[in-house]
Structure 1
Amino acid sequence: MDYKDQYESWVTNGYFDEETREALIAIKNDEEEIKDRFYRNLEFGTAGLRGKVGAGTNRMNKYIIRQATQGLADFIVEKGQDYMNRGVAIAYDVRHYSKEFAKEAALVLAGNGIKAYLFEDIRPTPELSYAVRRLKTAGGIVVTASHNPREYNGYKVYWEEGAQILSEIAAVVEKNIESIKDFTKIKILDEQMALDQGLLKILGREIDDEYVEKVKGLSLRDDINKGIKLVYTPLNGTGNIPVRRVLHERGFQNVWVVPEQEMPDPDFTTVGYPNPEDTKAFAYAEKLGKSLGAEMIFATDPDCDRVACMIQGKEGEYTALNGNQTGAVLIEYILSSLKEQGRLTGNDYIVKSIVTGDLGKAIAASYGVKTFETLTGFKNICGKVNEMEKRSDQSFIFGYEESIGYVAGTFVRDKDGVIASMLLCEAAAYYSSLGKSLLDVLEGLYEKHGFYMEKLISLTLEGIEGQKRIGRMMKEYRKSFPKKIGDMGLIQYIDYAEGISVDVINQKETTGNIPVSDVLRYFFKDGSWYAVRPSGTEPKIKIYIYTKGATKREAQEKIVIFEKTIMDLLHGVV
């Protein structure tokens, strides 16, 4: 069935409600819009679903939610009655239709005889991971589009260990979804019947209280400056209550919240693109911070699984720390504290993604702590923790990636903006008591371990043609990557899609133990490297450039050379 037939089916089929049909009739003369909405089914990958809200097969709507949940339900039913009884925990964020989508998912699960635990109101994504582990459910669902623009929503699936599903489960669920051609065959139960039959349970304060206590239990020090001035913005998302509660109960006395961004707002009116990686998201926080003389301002994204910060400099201006820098500072704070307390065991490890910088790895090595690398995404980072937990006596300390995601402890198996916010504020308060800012700490790490600089470049290419061009860029780069950049010669490259690692110097190719993903990495003799990959959740191709130099200036000059060489090649692909 082509996109025109799909469109006609949705317009004429009585299963779809009047609001949906009216929205589709309104675009009947817009061929490109019809095509974009129906040229494909919204793809279900290991990141679940993510797309613009609207009517159509390539959009987020209640029918696509029902279809995806039926695919998950079929998988759980195949696992047997025990998994059905254990059920699925469901959380949702502040976005348009998040609450409605979460309830649709719960009622489809109930319609299949699977118990659903639905949070009573918005909750941070990491609390869902905690709930899965605490309640010992078969899995979990979070309705969120994280930091995407307001037009988007999403649907992420977790499995029994509390981490997002990996490819082997996602592939089965996706196959189940694709087999559902008739929406009327989806099983769904009335809400009151689901409650009466015990197939729908509402979660409230009890899980919140336990989760907050667990977060506070990760605290490392009390000899800190609890009077440090901090400004926080939840960017109108789910972090407002849990982050403030944790900091209050930890005794922080001077935490101000940006009033315009305190309460839930699905339109993100004051920020537009609610991504704290983008310093423009800090405009309101920076203004408030300057008026108060705050030493640090920090922000969590709408589903509160990521956190970013800006630090007050000597002139009163704020400097943003990127994800690699924040990760490095947290690793130094955590490991130095554990060492001082005699709590490092010699079998400790951290986990980072393959596109995350190497400064954190160098810091960990200086404390005798191992670093493991995984594919991009916390499903892989926490998947590694799950794997290690089953087969070794090594102790997990910290996981992170360059895109401002961090986790500590073992009660959550996803990036956690609540945990990271507490540890970040604690680190800032501890170093403040020593007369240092986090900028001073970072500079000290550079002096000790080398100047690691980085730049992330994202090319956004929307729509069908954009996706095709991204594919052509990856194909062309595989064939025509530069063997030399400036005076730096290539010594190794890894093609994760092809599963090969090539020693350029010795002309030796090896295979095996290379996880499969559409990622290219190129390494140079001086310790610099870069990676190219398409985003798994956004219409972007991403370039990660990492350089190392004896001075900051040297490392930054290398970035300029790398960027020009790489981008000239990519822009040449039309």
Structure 2
Amino acid sequence: MDTELVFKVKHWIDNDPDPRTRRELQALLDAGDETQLKQRFSGRLVFGTAGIRGVVGAGPMRMNRLVVQQTSAGVGLYLKQQVPDVAPRGVVIGYDGRHDSKQFARDAAAVLAAMGIKVYLTCEVAPTPLVAFGVTHLGAAAGIVVTASHNPPLYNGYKVYWGNGAQIIPPHDSGIAACIESAATGPVVMQELDNAIATKSLVMLETDFYEAYRQGVKTAGILQNHTRPDLVSLSYTAMHGVGAQMAETVLRDAGFNHLYSVADQREPDGDFPTVKFPNPEESGAMDRVIAEAKKHDAVLACANDPDADRFAVAVRRSGEAEYQMLTGDQVGVLLGHYLLTHSAEDQRFTCTTIVSSSLLSKVAASFNATCRTTLTGFKWLTNVGMSEQRDDNRFLFAYEEALGYTVGSMVWDKDGLSALLAFSQLTAELAASGKTIWNRLEEIYREHGFHLNAQVSIALQPDTPNIGAYLRETPPDSIAGRAIISVDDISCGLRRFADGRTETIELPNSDVLIYRLEGGGRVIVRPSGTEPKIKCYYEIVETMTDEDSLQSVQQRAQALMNEFISAHQQSLPQ
């Protein structure tokens, strides 16, 4: 076996505080498994704008205690460089219900405390939105949440918030990454947590912290619509995550007492035993909460993902026993429309992403409201929402199609708990006037057109030319028979119109092409820079006729979408 590799492995074993992962590496050494060891030591988990995330296991390319300790030392070093008063302001740390999350969070706390930085550590598992809330609520310099969100059981992760309560954006990600590399070259110093508590460098966030979030939701101006909650019954699942207690509490605080939780998915369980993949978007993941809804003839079947920052809902079809999942775009547009209907005149700033439906922007325009489009990811939505809001146009709402929503400005990240409450209040208000969610969707579609969105990942041959370069060098003038009205090239921040005009796009550079088509269609192409693969996002807009029902326009739009996708894929180089 390569001697340099053996040295690296033995050095890691000598510094690894976890006997379990030490044994794991020693077993690989003893077995002479050079292939596996090379994978573990080919680099280290890359710290990006979402922090780090990976399979739990031994070595620098896995999530483990030593990686978390080194990462925390890097975060602490960067904070000391960037935030002069980081020591007294401190860092909020929370964690989800995965098997290693509590230990990882305690390790992070021990490292930062040893660096002289005050730490606020949740006394038990906490929904991710509570950590984001805690940063601004406590005036902290940063926040850390140990979670792998809706990833499979083998994963864990580590996400960082800046002092504004939003996820970090460049240049903080690269700055932290550089500090982690530096910190990983030497031993990591840690402080015993009992000593940290005694010296008041560690504060445990007890019941009053969780109560502060609850009261914040309870008193939020945009969540004060208490129209007939008694008319709405709903089933709920935490999907073996950490959302149940707070979700049930904020719903009952608002008068939603016809609430039925899925018992065998209510408590945190890092094995996620009843779901193949703990993501509400995955096939089968909502089966139990829909069965619970049917059992009680509930109106809604609702879910949070395991760290409760996402929200999903299936709605009973009018006059039927069956339930239909709403897409993330449908929930986003419904919430946006509802909140704009009730918002104050000085709170009409909304945000969505380039790959989400364009419908929210049209709804916002009809309310004379602002809708800002950002790059994909809540880090962009909330940082833009925060930086661009004004006293006379305060932030109201943001969403992305991957089931992420934030309502108001109490939490500057996606929050599946307040979204759950807002959607329930919308449903109750509609029920009070004899309407349903489906009625409201149809009203929106009749006014603005039926918007159907789809995402397709296309695997290409290894020798296929670079798709981004090909499309820029040989730009199409139509897609699937539809004329191109304009092309946004986010890599250079330029919009080109068919008539030759150009204008600047105010977005960070990214390898993305957006084609807007005649008839309201849209294609977004995101080429991969590392493999022969592209992600394509499609949008079809169909006018609803007087004879159309939701079902008929959906069927027509879906048929057009299938043809549209097929024609576009065939136009790409193979």
Q: TM-score, normalised by structure 1?
A: 0.90
CA offset digits 1:449-501 (Å, max 9, x no partner): 1111111234699xxxx9x9999565556556654222202222223234333
Tell me if 1:297 matches 2:297: no
- Aligned pair partner of 2:190 in 181, 188, 197: 188
C-alpha separation between the residues in 2 aligned to 1:471 and 1:74?
43
Q: What pairs up with 1:76-155 in 2 under 5 angstroms? A: 76-79=79-82, 81-155=84-158
> How far apart, CA to CA, are the structure 1 residues paired with 2:105 and 2:471?
41
**Structure 1 match to 2:258:** 254
Match of 2:237 among 211, 221, 233: 233
Partner of 1:545: 538
**Which stretch has the larger CA shift, 10-19 or 122-131?**
10-19
Aligned to 2:42: 39
**Contact in 2 for aligned 1:94/1:237 (Cα 8 Å):** yes
2: distance between equivalents of 1:202 and 1:77? 22
Indicate how the Cα distance of structure 1 residues 181 and 121 shifts in structure 2: closer, same or farther if over 3 A, else same.
Answer: closer
- Structure 1 counterpart SS, 2:85: helix
Q: What code does the residue aligned with 1:524 have?
A: L
Aligned to 1:559: 561
| Residues in 1 aligned to 2:337 and 2:20: alpha-carbon distance in whole angstroms | 54
Residues 119-162 of structure 1 deviation map (CA, whole Å, 9 limit, x = unaligned): 01111111111111111010100111111111111111111110
Structure 1 unaligned spans of 5+: none
Aligned to 1:455: 454
Shift of 1:245: 0.5
Q: 1:330 to 1:7 in 2, by over 3 A?
A: farther
In the other structure, the counterpart of 1:344 is 345
Report if aligned partners of 2:228, 2:432 keep a CA contact under 8 Å in 1. Answer: yes
* Distance verdict in 2 for CA 1:167–1:57, change over 3 Å: same
Moved more, 261-270 or 424-433: 424-433
Partner AA of 1:497 in structure 2: S
Q: Secondary structure at the match of 1:64?
A: helix
Contact 1:4 1:34 survives alignment (8 Å): no
Contact 1:118 1:201 in 2 (8 A): yes
Residue 69 of structure 1 aligns with which residue?
Answer: 72
Does the 8 A contact of 1:4 with 1:35 survive in 2? no
Alignment of 1:345-364 (within 5 A): 345=346, 348-364=348-364
- Note if 1:173 corresponds to 2:176: yes
Q: Is the 8 A contact 2:290 2:301 kept in 1?
A: yes
> Which of 206, 213, 216 is matched with 1:214 structurally?
216
Distance 1:282 1:207, change over 3 A: same
8 Å CA contact 1:470, 1:541 repeated in 2: no
Structure-2 change in CA distance of 1:337 and 1:386 (3 Å): closer
Aligned equivalents of 1:61, 1:469: Cα separation in 2: 37
Question: 2 CA distance for matches of 1:330 and 1:476?
Answer: 39
Query: What does residue range 348-387 of structure 1 map to in structure 2 within 5 Å?
Result: 348-387=348-387
Query: Contact 2:91–2:118 (CA<8 Å) still a contact in 1?
Result: yes
Matched, 1:527 2:528: no
| 198-207 vs 487-496, greater mean Cα deviation | 487-496
2:230 aligns to what SS in structure 1?
coil
1:325 aligns with 2:330: yes
Match of 2:276 in 1: 272
Matched, 1:399 2:398: yes
Is the CA contact (8 Å cut-off) linking 1:548 and 1:555 kept in structure 2? yes
Figure out how many residues of one structure are paired with residues of the other and give that number. Answer: 556
Q: Which residue of 2 aligns with 1:489?
A: 483
Cα offsets for 1:521-574 (capped at 9, x unmatched): 2211222112233799xx99543211111242443333213322344467x66x
**Identity value in percent:** 35
Q: 1:263 aligns with which of 267, 271, 294?
A: 267
State how far apart, in whole Å, the 2-side matches of 1:482 and 1:58 are. 42
What is the one-letter code of the residue matched to 1:491?
A: I
Return the alpha-carbon distance in structure 1 between the equivalents of residues 94 and 335 of structure 2.
28
Distance across 2 between alignment mates of 1:269 and 1:414: 28
Does the 8 Å CA contact 2:78/2:179 hold for their aligned counterparts? yes
Equivalence map 1:46-65=2 (5 Å): 46-65=49-68
CA contact (8 A) 2:5 2:38 kept: no
| The 10-residue stretch of structure 1 (78-87 or 367-376) with the greater mean CA deviation from structure 2 | 78-87
Alignment map for 1:13-32 (pairs within 5 Å):
13=12, 14-16=14-16, 17-27=18-28, 28-32=31-35
Matches of 1:275 and 1:385, distance apart in 2: 27
| Separation in structure 2 between the aligned mates of residue 568 and residue 116 of structure 1, nearest angstrom | 55
User: Residue 444 of structure 2 aligns with which residue?
Assistant: 445
1:266, CA displacement in angstroms?
0.6
Amino acid in structure 1 at the alignment position of 2:309: D
Residue in 1 that maps onto 2:200: 198
Would the aligned equivalents of 2:452 and 2:540 in 1 still touch at CA under 8 Å? yes
2:235, 2:298 within 8 Å by CA — same for their partners in 1? yes
Q: Deviations over 1:374-425 (max 9, x none)?
A: 1111111110122124x65321111111111111122211010110000011
**Native 8 Å contact 1:63 1:183 kept in 2:** no
Q: Which residue matches 2:548?
A: none
Shift of 1:520: 2.5
**Contact 2:226/2:255, CA 8 A, preserved across alignment:** no
Q: Which residue in 2 is equivalent to 1:422?
A: 421
Distance 1:250 1:84 in 2: 38
- CA shift in 2, pair 1:24/1:334, >3 Å: same
Contact 2:70–2:184 (Cα < 8 Å) also in 1 = no
SS of residue in 2 equivalent to 1:517: coil
SS of match in other structure, 1:215: helix
* Separation (CA, whole Å) in 2 of partners of 1:542 and 1:225: 41
CA contact (8 A) 1:76 1:84 kept: no
Shift of 1:33: 3.2
Code of the residue aligned with 1:377 in structure 2: it is G
* 1:443 shift after superposition: 1.5
Do the aligned residues in 1 keep the contact of 2:348 with 2:396 (CA within 8 Å)?
yes
Which letter does structure 1 place at the counterpart of 2:514? R
Q: Return the alpha-carbon distance in structure 2 between the equivalents of residues 270 and 217 of structure 1.
A: 36
Q: Contact 1:4–1:38 (CA<8 Å) still a contact in 2?
A: no
CA distance in 2, matches of 1:228, 1:3: 65
1:316 corresponds, among 316, 321, 325, to 321
Unmatched 5+ residue regions in structure 2?
545-552
Residue in 1 that maps onto 2:8:
9
Which residue in 1 is equivalent to 2:550? none
Farther-moved stretch of structure 1 (136-145 vs 441-450): 441-450
Q: How big is the shift at 1:250?
A: 1.2
When structure 1 is superposed on structure 2, of 276-285 and 548-557 the one drifting more is 548-557
Cα distance change of structure 1 residues 512 and 429 upon mapping to structure 2, 3 Å threshold: closer
Quote the residue 1:244 is aligned against: 248
Say whether the 8 Å CA contact 1:164–1:414 is kept in structure 2: yes
**Offset at residue 254 of structure 1 (A):** 0.7
Matches of 2:5 and 2:464, distance apart in 1 = 26
Cα offsets for 1:327-367 (capped at 9, x unmatched): 111122222234xxxx334x621111111111122111111
Q: How far did 1:170 drift?
A: 1.5
Separation in structure 2 between the aligned mates of residue 216 and residue 557 of structure 1, nearest angstrom: 44
